[in-house]
């Protein structure tokens, strides 16, 4: 019975490790997405500012 418990514990440890890797990957992808959103927002602001300056001049 100890062997069965050991296998179960090993499987749980392996699954926990997989979950940690997947969570890290999700976090990286979310950070990448947020960074791209910030870049897009900055670009929009620059373009709007350029349009306003063009209208004023």
Of all residues in the chain, what percent carry a pLDDT higher than 90?
89
CA 24/CA 22 separation, integer angstroms = 5
Q: Using a CB cutoff of 8 Å and minimum separation of 24, what contacts does 38-42 make?
A: none
- Which range marks the domain in which residue 23 is found? 1-57
| CA dist., res. 55 & res. 9, Å (int) | 69
Token duo for residue 9: 């514990």
Is the pLDDT at 1 greater than 80? The verdict is no
Q: What is the pLDDT of residue 31?
A: 99
Tokens of 55: 């209208």
Domain count, the chain: 1
CA 18/CA 10 separation, integer angstroms: 12
pLDDT in tens, 6-30: 999 999 999 999 999 999 999 999 9
């Amino acid at each position: 019975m100890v062997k069965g418990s050991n296998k179960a514990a090993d499987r749980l440890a392996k699954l926990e490790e997989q979950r940690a890797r997947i969570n890290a990957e999700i976090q990286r992808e979310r950070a990448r997405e947020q960074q791209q959103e910030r870049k897009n927002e900055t670009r929009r602001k620059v373009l709007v500012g350029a349009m306003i300056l063009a209208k004023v001049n």
